[in-house]
Amino acid sequence: MLSVNRCTHYYVKRIRNQFKYKLGEGAHGTVFKGKLSSDFFDAVKVLNNSKGNGEEFIHEVGTMSHIHHVNVVRLVGFCADGFIRALVYELLPNGSLQSFISSADTKGCNLFWDKLQDIALGIAKGAEYLYHGCDRRILHFDIKPRTVLLDYNFTPKLSDFGLAKLCSKDQSLVSMTKARGTTG
């Protein structure tokens, strides 16, 4: 297992450069560009609605720290300082798949059918790993072009586990009392 750094709120604020470089915003928080180490840039997701004593959040961090797959974004740090909750992930330079399939400005890159097929296969491998390859099954519930991030080689990585549900390996049915996922 790779180590996951625990950060204070002050440290998270410092690595995300005082809110200067906003990468995006979702239902569960805002993502900023930051630098946890001198070698790599990171994506720092500051979560909204931090409730309770943080036990559920720490449990989620524990689960995410055990996930290591080429098609799943890597958690490198977290902050659970008072009511402040933040997740620090590897930063993927090509952003989301959404920006390449729905924008006229595709950063000078065209995704041809063979690359799109590789991306689709990578997404399927990541989802299969989450469901079958982890100690506990992880149901993502929110895989869409905006939550699929692309690295330098356009290798897809699943991200945004805000709506994910953890299940035991022997659980064959999952009860859902309400609709899950976000529009898109």
Q: Which residue segments constitute the domains of the chain, with CATH numbers given?
A: 5-90 (3.30.200.20), 98-167 (1.10.510.10)
The catalytic residue positions are: 142
User: Under a CB-based contact definition with an 8 Å cutoff, are residues 144 and 127 in contact?
Assistant: no
Residue by residue, pLDDT tens for the chain (184 residues) are: 457 777 777 777 776 565 578 888 877 788 888 776 667 778 888 888 766 566 667 767 877 787 889 999 988 888 887 778 888 888 898 988 988 887 555 555 667 889 999 999 999 999 898 888 877 777 767 788 888 999 999 999 998 766 556 565 565 544 555 544 444 4
pTM of the model: 0.77
User: Under a CB-based contact definition with an 8 Å cutoff, are residues 159 and 89 in contact?
Assistant: yes
User: Under a CB-based contact definition with an 8 Å cutoff, are residues 130 and 147 in contact?
Assistant: no
Residue 49 φ/ψ, nearest 5 degrees: 55, 55
- Degrees to nearest 5, angle at CA 99 with 134 and 101: 90
